[in-house]
Chains A and B, each alone.
Chain A
């Protein structure tokens, strides 16, 4: 039973020279409940646009986007979204940031904070509940964002390169943390990244996108058992085999995106 399904979804933006710019075209893929799908593609190919379509932040120009079996109009129920850049509120403490979702959804201040505290503890920030975001490290701010998303108990989680700004060790730590927290939720995940290793380590399926305008090039199953330890799993032969197979497909697109970027620069 798929909770997210895209059929020939296309998104065009008004371009700079009057020509509409096509960010994604003819996207077709589905995500089942409880499934973790990673979307990889060359940098700047329009992967994030896919998430905007599913979240309802941007309407599709043509094609269909269904969430929970209904066409997306506005933000669907049960969607959580972790943005690439920091989106925590700098003027609220960690606790009040996490409590924001429940507060918006009509819970009283006290109840919202109690609910939020559970998640603040789960992401390991109990000692920092009263801190402001600027007092935290980049990794801790990502934990706040993660708790902020999870406290709403989303059935669909959209993640836009959430860990790309972190250093390698913190990133691995956050990946493990994400898998641990997600394991109990049964939520469907679309995780956008340009890092194939990250995609394979986390996902059940990997969707490879072409360079701009992006469309689905191929979809691979990742035959790795769960629970996973992202640092250990990278060393297994199954991981390496999957990496080689998917990279063969992705490589051409990355090369093309690079050539295009060079062409544009010169």
Chain B
């Protein structure tokens, strides 16, 4: 609210900005039309759509899934399943990453002890763990959530750790002089200053949570988008693979949008120049 009253007048530049925005979207739409059009054309005349599929086939598959349902029941059930796994994995992984990252970031000795283990754990190709989790936790929800958690955790952990380390010493000293206890320094100085760092990782982290859920389903499941994609692969249904990809992408974009809303709400104290750079 206050930012608007203080901002320099933008009335004169409003129409310029709108025109620029119109042009921007015009070119973007043109890119998509040219891309899909050329794909459609080549797949109709020169290359085999059985292998490469084409936009109209993919569209038909999507319409089919949403009206008739998939081979494993309604498409909404598949979406809800994957979403549930991804969101649960995201929440558990993010909370774990933030808490452990901030605590280790403030405890130098513990961080030095843990450093090589964390580096090693991060170097493990974690996506392979999906197969292990299926053996451990079975075909249900748990194994997918576990895969999503390990992917999300490390992405968030490193940023929270770095954020907690880079807290301005001046701010900490000032708070101590003003009377803050150790835990007050943590909650009122360290956590807020690490928030920008943490949010930077959360954007990527939800993508990882989705990947974890889909790959987990791919490794073995009885429902979910990963299962649809795996099944499409098994039946040489290229259009089905694309359709699964598109649904996953749309979910990821929606989540990204929600996260940006939350970020702007929580980080409203930041100078607008910083926010503008990210939104542009």
Contacts and interface: CB of A to CB of B under 8 A. Distances in A.
A68 to B, nearest CB: 16
A100 B3 contact: no
A104 B182 CA distance: 11
Contacts, number: 66
A100 B175 contact: yes
Interface stretch (B34-42, B43-51, B184-192, B257-265): B184-192
Contact of B173 (A83, A91, A105): A83
Interface in A59-100: 75, 79-81, 83, 85-87, 89-92, 100
A79 B177 contact: yes
B176 A75 contact: yes
B271 interface: yes
Contacts of B195: 91
Interface SS majority for chain B: helix
A29 interface: no
Given A89-B189, A89-B192, A134-B271, A104 B2 contact: no
A132 B6 CA distance: 11
User: What bracket does the count of chain B residues touching chain A fall in?
Assistant: 20 to 34
A134 B270 contact: yes
A55 interface: yes
B178 A101 contact: yes
B178 A152 contact: yes
Contacts of B12: none
Interface string A133-157: 1110000000000001100100000
B271 A55 contact: no
Nearest to B189: A89
A105 B175 CA distance: 11
Contacts of B181: 104
B15 interface: no
A100 B177 contact: no
A7 interface: no
A244 interface: no
B171 A80 contact: no
Given A89-B189, A104-B181, A131-B2, A57 B170 contact: no
Contacts of A90: 269-270
Interface string B180-217: 11001000110011010000000000000000000000
Interface of A: 55, 57, 75, 79-81, 83, 85-87, 89-92, 100-101, 104-105, 130-135, 148-149, 152
6 contacts: A91-B193, A91-B267, A100-B175, A132-B268, A135-B3, A149-B178
Q: Lowest 5 A-B CB distances belong to which pairs?
A: A87-B174, A104-B179, A101-B178, A134-B271, A91-B269
Given A81-B174, A132-B269, 7 more contacts: A83-B174, A87-B171, A90-B269, A100-B175, A100-B180, A131-B2, A132-B2
